[in-house]
Amino acid sequence: MSGVLGTGHLVSWDGGFLLIGRAGGVTPMHAHYAIQLAFGSERGIRFRPSDAEPWVAYDGVVISSSQPHSMDASTVPLVAVLFVDPETREGRALSERFESNGITALSDELLGEVGPALFSIWQSDRSVAAIEAAARAIVTSLTDGVEPSIVSDERIIRATAYIRDNLSSSITLDEVADVACLSPSRFRHLFVEQTGMALRPYVLWRRFLRVWDLIMEGVPLSTAAHAVGFADAAHLSRTSRRMFGFPPSALVIDGPLQPRAGEGRAASGRRAAVPARQSSR
């Protein structure tokens, strides 16, 4: 994917992140690791599972992990795209509820009040905490109230803090288990029990959450890549395409947003776009 068309913001949290804004083009055919939720402020966002098939307009969709698809968001005034890690508790619940096919329709009834509320809050509140809460409310609603995993064991709290503090270096199971004062086998079991994820995908997801935060702060892509342990910007972009279907360079930030309490400036005045590029229909 090359080029950018549309403006908006990116907000991340443990196990997921949101792209919200205005898109005016077609995201080319791709597949990715994350489960995708997408809907417009009006009915009409379009998807198709292959270039040989016709476009179908939806209120919204759930797209399963690894499902090929293309998106046309130029047909709606605003678009929200949420990505959820399939290994989290919420991700597994989404997979179980919406596993009938690769692209599952979401009706207005399923989106209820939480879909319109997200757009309203994004346009009026402009705070990271409020936008995150509205996005997570959508995930909770679509999973019938499944709550995210909460880390309460002090050993795993130490381990996750160590991971966050060492994203720029290689992180192994043995060293993190040692921080938790557990054998590798016991740590592996307890870590999944507490976080809902295995260590390797957890570390990769944390790296991307930090990348999104750095991009929102206006940090150059190469600097962000090195800060979280990628060899270079190209390595980061390749991995991002595999995980989410687009490279970070497709994002341009339009800030600022009001940061969470205790954090710095959430956006530096650059613009952020929903990933899209112009294409003939």
Q: Is the preceding omega at residue 86 within 30 degrees of 0, hence cis?
A: no
Mean of pLDDT over the chain: 86
Per-residue confidence band for 66, with pLDDT thresholds at 50, 70 and 90: confident
Per-residue confidence band for 64, with pLDDT thresholds at 50, 70 and 90: very high
For residue 278, the model assigns a pLDDT of 39
Q: Nearest Cα to 149, choosing from 95, 92, 203, 206?
A: 92
Give tens-digit pLDDT for 67-96.
Answer: 999 999 989 999 999 999 888 889 989 998
Q: What percent of the chain shows pLDDT beyond 70?
A: 88
Give tens-digit pLDDT for 250-266.
Answer: 776 676 788 877 665 55
In terms of Cβ atoms closer than 10 Å to its own Cβ (0-12, 13-18, 19+), residue 226 is middle
Token output for 133 = 């809460």
For residue 279, the model assigns a pLDDT of 39
The pLDDT of 184-188, averaged and rounded, is 97
Residue 269 has pLDDT above 50, yes or no: no
Q: What is the DSSP letter of 280?
A: -
Give tens-digit pLDDT for 208-244.
Answer: 889 988 888 888 999 999 999 999 999 999 998 888 8
Residue 274 has pLDDT above 60, yes or no: no
Beta-strand relationship, 69-72 and 45-48: antiparallel
Domains of the chain: 6-148+246-250 (2.60.120.10), 154-195 (1.10.10.60)
- Least-confidence region, from 38-52, 163-177, 232-246: 232-246
Residue 172 has pLDDT above 90, yes or no: yes
For residue 15, the model assigns a pLDDT of 83
